[in-house]
Amino acid sequence: MTANRSPRMIFVNLSVRDLKRSMEFFSRLGFEFNPQFTDENAACMVVSEQAFVMLLAEPFFKTFTKNKICDTSTQTEGLFALSCSSRAEVDQMVKTAIAAGGKPAMDSKDHGFMYAWSFYDLDGHHWEVMWMDPKAAAGQP
């Protein structure tokens, strides 16, 4: 990023079968929704000041693409990684996701400087939840 450019925002758009149920699921994981960009077709999930996930009801999602929607029961459309402040927070988020109706994805992985575990949400989207040692993230030994 150049010195004159402000940070970019990212909006990840995901197709969901039941918008209300998906909002309830992610609310249980601690996420909030911006009501200004939430209606019966879409919900704007706030990840951070610069990152958002737009949960789009399938019929509305289809208006943005000519391609077929991915069948997440047999295909992976992407891996969506979320950082946490500790290993315990990683474990808690994945356990909460599974208790809320999500499914386990991959087993937890401990790389020493980084710890990750993953789940599938209600629509089969693959979420990778991870913690990285701040020293490792800063390039320190």
Residues 135 and 107 in one domain: yes
Q: What is the pTM (predicted TM-score) of this model?
A: 0.87
Give the burial class of 139: count Cβ atoms within 10 A of its Cβ; 0-12 exposed, 13-18 middle, 19 or more buried: exposed
Residues 80 and 115 in one domain: yes
Residues 53 and 91 in one domain: no
Number of domains in the chain: 2
Q: Give the tens place of pLDDT for each residue, 94-129.
A: 999 999 999 999 999 999 999 999 999 999 999 999
The range of the structural domain enclosing residue 42 comes to: 8-62
Q: Please check whether residue 81 is in contact with residue 27, taking contact to mean a CB–CB distance below 8 angstroms.
A: no
Domain CATH for 86: 3.10.180.10
- Partner residues linked to 15 by β-bridges: 56
Residue 1: inside a domain = no
Residue 107: half-sphere exposure toward Cβ, Cα within 13 Å: 3
Query: Helix, strand or coil for residue 59?
Result: helix
pLDDT of residue 53: 98
Q: Give the tens place of pLDDT for each residue, 8-18.
A: 899 999 999 99
